[in-house]
A and B are shown apart, each in its own frame.
Chain A
Amino acid sequence: MKDLSVEAKSIVENVEFVKRKKRKKSVIEKKENWVGFLFVSPMFIGVSVLTLLPIIATFFLAFADWNFIMGIQSVKWVGLDNFKALFANEVFIKSVLNNLLFLLTVPICMAISLLISIVIDKHVYMKSYFKVAFFMPYISSIVAIAVVWQVLFNPTEGPINQFLFSLGIENPPKWIADPNFALISLMVIQIWASTGFNMLIYLAGLQSIPKELYEAADMDGATRWDKFKHIMLPALSPTTFFLLITGIISTFKVFDLIAVLTKGGPINSTTMLVWHLYDSAFVNLKIGYASAIAVVLFFFVLFITLVQWSLQKKWVNY
Chain B
Amino acid sequence: MERRISIRKLVMTVISFIVSIAFLLPFFWMLSTSFKIEADVFKFPIEWIPRTWNGIENYKEVWLGKDPFALYYWNSIKITVSTTIISVTVSALAAYGFSKVNFSIGNFLFLIILATYMVPQQSILIPQFILYRYLGLFDSHLGLILLGSFSVLGTFMLRQFFMGIHSDYIDAAKIDGASHFRIFWSIAFPIVRPAIATYAILRFIWTWNDFQNPLIFLRSDELYTIQLAMQKFTSLNGEFYSLIMAAAVSAILPLIIVFIIGQKQVIEGIALGGVKG
> With an 8 A cutoff between CB atoms, is A42 at the interface?
yes
Complex contact A132–B124 (CB within 8 A): no
Q: What is the interface residue range for chain A against chain B?
A: 35 or more
Query: Which of A141, A148, A253, A295 meets B255, CB within 8 Å?
Result: A141
Q: Are the CB atoms of A255 and B271 closer together than 8 Å?
A: no
Which residues does chain A contribute within 8 Å of B211, judged by CB atoms? 141-143, 256, 259-260
Residues of A within 8 A of B126 (CB): 54, 57-58, 61, 281, 287, 290-291, 294
- Main secondary structure on A side of the interface with B: helix
> A14 in the interface, Cβ–Cβ < 8 Å?
no
Q: Are B26 and A125 in contact (CB under 8 A)?
A: no
Contact A298 B227 (CB under 8 A): no
The reply on A73 being an interface residue by CB < 8 A is no
Determine which of B124, B209, B267 lies in contact with A55 in the assembled complex, contact meaning CB atoms within 8 Å: B124
Q: Fill in one digit per residue for A246-281: 1 if any B CB lies within 8 Å of its CB, else 0.
A: 100110110110011000000000000010011001
Inter-subunit contact B276/A133 (CB<8 Å):
no
Residues in A with CB closer than 8 Å to B245 are 148, 151
Chain A residues with Cβ under 8 A from B274's Cβ? 201, 204, 242, 246
Nearest to A252 among chain B residues (CB) is: B120
Give B182-216 as 1s and 0s: 1 = Cβ < 8 Å from A's Cβ atoms.
00100000000000000000000100110110011
A139 touches B124 (CB 8 A): no
Give bound CA distance, A115 to B221, whole Å: 45
Looking at B8, B16, B118, B184, which has the most chain A CB atoms within 10 Å of its CB?
A: B16
Report the Cα distance A42→B128, complex, angstroms: 18
B interface footprint on A199-211 (CB within 8 Å = 1, 0 otherwise)? 0110110000000
**A4 touches B (CB below 8 Å):** no
Q: A147-B244, A253-B122, A281-B125 are in contact. Are A200 and B267 (CB under 8 A)?
A: yes
The answer to whether A46 touches B120, judged by C-beta atoms less than 8 angstroms apart, is: no
- Best-surrounded residue of B20, B45, B180 (most CB of chain A within 10 A): B20
| A150 vs chain B, min Cβ distance (A) | 8
Chain B nearest CB from A203 CB (Å) reads: 7
Interface of B is mostly: helix
> Which residues of B, 221-262, contact A by the 8 Å Cβ criterion?
226-227, 230-231, 234, 241, 244-245, 247-249, 251-252, 255-256, 259
A61 to B248 CA separation, bound complex (whole angstroms): 39
A246 touching B276 in the complex, CB below 8 Å, given contacts A40-B98, A61-B127: yes
Task: Known contacts A35-B103, A255-B212; decide if A197 and B270 are in contact (CB<8 Å).
Answer: yes
Cross-chain contact B93 with A43 (CB below 8 angstroms)? yes
List of A residues within 8 angstroms of B244 by Cβ: 147, 151
B116 interfacial contact with A, CB 8 Å: yes
Cβ contact within 8 Å between A54 and B26: no
Q: Could you list 29 examples of A-B contacts with CB < 8 Å? A: A40-B93, A42-B90, A43-B90, A43-B94, A53-B131, A54-B124, A54-B127, A58-B123, A123-B8, A133-B24, A139-B266, A140-B256, A141-B226, A141-B255, A144-B230, A144-B248, A145-B26, A148-B29, A148-B245, A150-B234, A151-B33, A162-B42, A162-B44, A192-B23, A192-B26, A246-B274, A256-B211, A278-B122, A281-B129
A interface with B by C-beta (< 8 Å) = 29, 32-33, 35-40, 42-44, 46-47, 49-55, 57-58, 61, 68, 116, 119-120, 123-126, 129-136, 139-145, 147-152, 154, 157-159, 162-163, 166, 192, 195, 197, 200-201, 203-204, 242, 246, 249-250, 252-253, 255-256, 259-260, 274, 277-278, 281-282, 287, 290-291, 294-295, 297-298, 301-302, 305
Chain B positions near chain A (C-beta within 8 angstroms):
8-10, 12-13, 16-17, 19-20, 23-24, 26-27, 29-30, 33, 42, 44-46, 89-91, 93-94, 96-98, 101-106, 109-110, 112-113, 116, 118-131, 133, 146-147, 149-150, 152, 155, 179-181, 184, 205, 208-209, 211-212, 215-216, 226-227, 230-231, 234, 241, 244-245, 247-249, 251-252, 255-256, 259, 263, 266-267, 270-272, 274, 276
